[in-house]
Amino acid sequence: MSTATSAAAANPLPFAAVDLGELQRIMASTYGRRDVERGLPATVAWLAEEVGELAQAVRKGSREQQAAELADVLAWLASLANQLGIDLDEAVARYAHGCPKCGGNPCDC
């Protein structure tokens, strides 16, 4: 588990609903300068590492570990989107009406 994950698990915050746009704003204000200094290749590497930690948590972890790893993946995805200048709310709109390929909900592909 990453240091950020273990720190979050040790000091859980009260539940607060956060939409994707707000998550991007939080990530930009909290880590934006560091994200730019780190750059895209390192951010993608960290995101990939977090996806690996999520896979491990899905296989062997508790529900709390799975939730923490999902949060980490979302946080790194938001940081990457910020660096790319992509609004996640706009990006996810691709799925707003179901499958972007066939238009079905459920998917008929």
CA gap 2, 8 in Å, rounded? 10
Show the domain range for 48: 3-8+18-95
In a domain, residue 45? The reply is: yes
CA gap 26, 83 in Å, rounded? 14
In a domain, residue 23? The reply is: yes
CATH code at position 55:
1.10.287.1080
Count of structural domains, the chain: 1
In a domain, residue 71? The reply is: yes
Average pLDDT, rounded, for the chain: 90
In a domain, residue 41? The reply is: yes
In a domain, residue 109? The reply is: no
* pTM of the full structure: 0.81
Structure tokens belonging to residue 108: 């008929």
Long-range CB contacts for residues 82-85, cutoff 8 Å, separation at least 24: 82/24, 82/27, 82/28, 82/32, 82/35, 83/35, 83/36, 83/39, 83/40, 83/43, 84/40
pLDDT in tens, 6-54: 444 555 556 778 899 999 999 999 999 999 999 999 999 999 999 999 9
**Average pLDDT of the segment spanning 55-64:** 98
